[in-house]
Amino acid sequence: MLAFRSEAHVDRWCEQTGLARGAAFSLETMWRLADAWYRDRLSTDWRRRTPDEAQALFTEVGLTGDFWRLT
């Protein structure tokens, strides 16, 4: 889970490392997911999301499709 300057840099890095290209998306979307995911982590009554809840959060920030399917 890395940050690149652009999708072209992702493509070049994948070619050079031989790693398959996964999912690339905006840092704004990354922030929205990180904020929603971790905002309450220090709360005493925090609990881990169920797969359905996590899936709904991915959908809410626009991360959909087979790559994001948890089950």
Partner 1 sequence: MKRNGTTRASRGSGVTELDDRVRVALYERFVEEGEAPSADDVASLLSVRVEDVTGAFRRLEEAHVIVLVPGTSDIWMANPLSAVPTAFAVETSRGTFWGNCIWDGLGTVAMLGGNGTVTTHCPDCEEPTTLRVDGGRLIDADGVAHFAVPARRWWDDIGFT
Residues that bind partner 1 (CB under 8 A): 1-7, 9-10, 12-13, 16, 19-31, 33-35, 37-39, 41-42, 44, 46-48, 58, 66-71
Q: Are 53 and 68 in contact (CB under 8 A)?
A: no
Which two structure tokens, joined as six digits, stand for 13?
């890095």
Q: How far is the CB of 60 from partner 1 (least distance, A)?
A: 15
Q: Which whole-number Å values give the CA distances from 8 to 4, 11, 15, 21, 59, in the listed order?
A: 9, 5, 11, 11, 25
Nearer to partner 1 among residue 29 and residue 56 (C-beta)? 29
- Least distance (Å) from partner 1 to the CB of residue 56? 13
Cβ distance to partner 1 smaller for residue 29 or 60:
29
Structure tokens at 16: 């050079």
